[in-house]
Structure 1
């Protein structure tokens, strides 16, 4: 029977005591150790979904799940990211020395506790032998705090609010009246996010954080203390991590590109790296995602008859931590879920070298064609962008308040707006597979000193229903008012087959709120801007300014 020890203390180098639950298999060992360090509560459903400690113990692993500093049972002050590198190092060394341990530690977890793995690995504790960071970022300026220069408002506000409950409970531990009042106020603001709570200004100095005196996800602190951003930045440091890694991501995860970037960087560094990407969101690894049922094969408990994803991870840890055939350098598998045909496909690389960047041009009359614009197409498309009436977030790779569902959703309401331009191909005569990183090249002008450009790729089925596939944003901080300029929108990556009879569609607009903060079109800093102005936008698609989307098409 598994032995469970709760709230086991471990002292960090500065004397702060963190606490962990330790699960040991029946017997005397020795066993390899799986470690997860997270701020969400070590017995929460979030950790069980990614690491079932009882299942791991039955597979012969000792499991250590720790509350990070300042959270739940652990001592200290809660400062997101600040201490994770040193605390991770100290905890790995302690876990390796536990009675019954074989001295080898692997780390596992996702999101914040995917990043705690990277930070521990960068600290280089000698007992750390393998890491499995899932659904986590590479560069916080590309998906965590900002994206294309815009603030990741949706995740930043809701996450900070959710983390605030434990902060307030600690603060008012001996003051019941203060506790009830403060938590009630926080819950009221959290509930309000589904209505207009995200609309408070300034977005870059969000008033609710000061109102509740809460630590925030890190955008605001990183503006004040740029050097502090290194406390959760992996980008540019992969060469320092000489360990095998197992990356797991989802096409509709808020950190989908970060997962891919971490994988490619580890491969470039010559490390053994494995990659699995499903059609999943940040919190949903099942087969029903958004409005689409991708088939039970997509479910992480089935994986197209490969068994449970968690068992795949346990098998991998057996090879990397002992009692299994060790991994050879530069080995590792790539397993991608290809949407549209709804099948898993094994590859040996990412990105796919056989994919061919193919330009689809925005054309007059809302057409999207392989042929470039003719010389007769001279008039730009125009629309008005009002930050006080932004295009609402409908689906996508988001992690917002529950009112905003992620994944592929019907875009009818978005595409009916006058401030959304739509360009569509004719029905396809054959399947078209797009697997890789997508980008839009827009020649556009604004009469404002600053504005945003948003591009979205959609799949229009045979019934005319348009569903989002992937999107991106770019913030233009110093626009030459009225002058056309070229803007590249990084739309991140996907894998989908647009089926014969379907159509490929591109949306172009200037907002996606509240996923990203609104550009108020004034050029004022996000930390102080509270006044908005309307912008007149133009998108060009003539022969000298050919706006287009570039799709990595995989030949049949």
Structure 2
């Protein structure tokens, strides 16, 4: 390990030399190594300083645990700020594993969580409290002036908050299945991402209290999910599942307009647009925050910032479970390259993606790669063709009834129900249209953003349209690849035209497989059901069924890899 000499000013402020305490972490990585194969070998024994008090920007005490290598010499520091507590899984996966590899790890509970003082306020305090923590680090005798950050989900948001005005010590970031725009976590084109909102409510309210309360809350939410999501009105119904009113959850659910004053300052997209901090981004194709990761990669790349992207076959949670060996190895390589000047673990290309349908990895120089866009058009009888239509005639119609909403199945969610699923039962419903191409005579790779250009008319003027790409194998099994939802606001009998982003994919359609385009009027409770009246889904107590007609000039747009 290379040794560092702190700046003279840092030496002057540091006080007496630091003597490592004798405490050992209450957990070991033995269980981690038994769970996952392929983790890097341990380099150091680990020591532990629990319950340190760091003053927040407003003076509130932020409880902080310090993990460190039991070895001589200087080591860089990783800052991990979390609203989910400092126990499982954060202690072993971040405190212990990274300290074993030669890093001081500062694991801190955000304001108002995990025993820290003050009141938790979703997103508003993280930039100031991150800066306050770095100021505290400068007074530590073991801090050598080299800082990195790492962490998933909201732990990614606090990294972007610090990067909005990066301290000079910040040399690298690793954002794993990370958040930068809270609005986009809770809403899609004005439609409430209901299941995500409930999952965030349970996680934020209970996880920092410990794994047992969190697991009980998660099971209670699962048992009561149907009752909560079908309640009339929907507003406030979550209390029976989450156990108490959460004012911040009420606020995020009741502000569907991204331009509302409530959301001002919430998005940290601009942190990437002007960043010079080398940043590695990690996500999964079925991560609820995948699109946010792709957006930040694009911003970093356009800003000329050094960046890398890893996309695996994961959901938001499985990236930190079965995907952890790849995620940890990627994270460690990036941090060693930029905090230790050791690039030996970096891969040769900026991008690595998992190819669905053939279960392989592919290295790319950029994302999305250059691809020829192809359009597929719906035909009567449920067929899908690449031949462009000559007019905008109706193809077929279906009736969406909010009283019996089209159910959601898999896809990009925070919960364990995310991911690829057999869509057979869903596609058998009368309110789900499918358009299927002929068996492919040769393989086809789709790499990049997928979108649907919809030409749709309704009889009420109000509707949502959920659109999904599926891979149908020779036995007829239909599995979802990617999807998206758009909100229709039509006036008069003429069809409305809307383009719906369906996220992105890297998928291999094998010869003999068929491409399927699925269209419906919603996916409940992933998205709150549209009442069909234009009224807020939170307050609606009456429903109006909607007849939705799809026209021939609709198109499924696929990037051929």
TM-score normalised per structure 1: 0.85
Superposition pairs for residues 160-199 of structure 1, below 5 Å? 160-165=201-206, 190-199=221-230
- Indicate if the aligned counterparts of 1:121 and 1:241 stay in contact, CA closer than 8 A: yes
Indicate the SS of the match to 1:515: coil
Corresponding position of 1:451: 463
Corresponding position of 1:78: 120
- Report the CA distance shift for 1:326/1:189 in structure 2 as closer, same or farther (over 3 A): closer
Residue 137 (structure 1) aligned to one of 134, 155, 179: 179
Q: Unaligned regions of 5+ residues in structure 1, if any?
A: 170-179, 289-298, 302-307
Pairwise CA distance, 1:446:
0.7
- Report the CA distance shift for 1:205/1:452 in structure 2 as closer, same or farther (over 3 A): farther
- Report the CA distance shift for 1:208/1:167 in structure 2 as closer, same or farther (over 3 A): farther
Spell out, residue by residue over 1:443-470, the C-alpha distance to the aligned partner (whole angstroms, 9 max, x if none).
Answer: 1111113110110000001211000010
Superposition pairs for residues 73-112 of structure 1, below 5 Å? 73-112=115-154
Alpha-carbon distance between aligned partners in 1 of 2:423 and 2:501, rounded to the nearest angstrom: 20
- Report the CA distance shift for 1:341/1:207 in structure 2 as closer, same or farther (over 3 A): closer
Pairwise CA distance, 1:285:
2.9
Moved more, 511-520 or 127-136: 127-136
Alpha-carbon distance between aligned partners in 1 of 2:422 and 2:369, rounded to the nearest angstrom: 29
- Indicate if the aligned counterparts of 1:459 and 1:468 stay in contact, CA closer than 8 A: yes
Indicate the SS of the match to 2:144: strand
- Indicate if the aligned counterparts of 2:319 and 2:327 stay in contact, CA closer than 8 A: no
Superposition pairs for residues 281-430 of structure 1, below 5 Å? 281-285=315-319, 299-301=323-325, 308-324=326-342, 333-353=350-370, 355-373=371-389, 378-400=393-415, 402=416, 405-430=417-442
Alpha-carbon distance between aligned partners in 1 of 2:67 and 2:57, rounded to the nearest angstrom: 24
- Indicate if the aligned counterparts of 2:310 and 2:351 stay in contact, CA closer than 8 A: yes
Alpha-carbon distance between aligned partners in 1 of 2:104 and 2:271, rounded to the nearest angstrom: 29
Corresponding position of 1:146: 187
Corresponding position of 1:24: 68
Corresponding position of 1:498: 509
Pairwise CA distance, 1:197:
1.9
Alpha-carbon distance between aligned partners in 1 of 2:320 and 2:165, rounded to the nearest angstrom: 34
TM-score normalised per structure 2: 0.85
Residue 58 (structure 2) aligned to one of 8, 11, 14: 14
Moved more, 199-208 or 147-156: 199-208
Indicate the SS of the match to 1:212: coil
Moved more, 430-439 or 146-155: 146-155
Spell out, residue by residue over 1:217-245, the C-alpha distance to the aligned partner (whole angstroms, 9 max, x if none).
Answer: 45237569934424441224423322110
Indicate the SS of the match to 2:407: coil
Alpha-carbon distance between aligned partners in 1 of 2:95 and 2:137, rounded to the nearest angstrom: 15
Q: Unaligned regions of 5+ residues in structure 2, if any?
A: 1-44
CA RMSD between the two structures:
2.8
Pairwise CA distance, 1:69:
0.7
Corresponding position of 2:34: none
Residue 246 (structure 2) aligned to one of 187, 201, 214: 214
Alpha-carbon distance between aligned partners in 2 of 1:287 and 1:185, rounded to the nearest angstrom: 20
Residue 287 (structure 2) aligned to one of 241, 253, 258: 253
Pairwise CA distance, 1:52:
3.3
- Report the CA distance shift for 1:363/1:514 in structure 2 as closer, same or farther (over 3 A): same
Aligned length: 511
Pairwise CA distance, 1:286:
8.1
Spell out, residue by residue over 1:188-241, the C-alpha distance to the aligned partner (whole angstroms, 9 max, x if none).
Answer: 862444433222344466563998221444523756993442444122442332
Pairwise CA distance, 1:481:
4.4
Indicate the SS of the match to 1:165: helix
Pairwise CA distance, 1:526:
3.8
- Report the CA distance shift for 1:312/1:380 in structure 2 as closer, same or farther (over 3 A): closer
- Indicate if the aligned counterparts of 1:250 and 1:280 stay in contact, CA closer than 8 A: yes
- Report the CA distance shift for 1:111/1:228 in structure 2 as closer, same or farther (over 3 A): same
Indicate the SS of the match to 1:24: strand
Corresponding position of 1:235: 269
Alpha-carbon distance between aligned partners in 2 of 1:267 and 1:59, rounded to the nearest angstrom: 29
Alpha-carbon distance between aligned partners in 2 of 1:235 and 1:110, rounded to the nearest angstrom: 17
- Indicate if the aligned counterparts of 1:84 and 1:231 stay in contact, CA closer than 8 A: no
Corresponding position of 1:174: none
**Counterpart check, 1:263 vs 2:304:** no
- Report the CA distance shift for 1:247/1:185 in structure 2 as closer, same or farther (over 3 A): closer
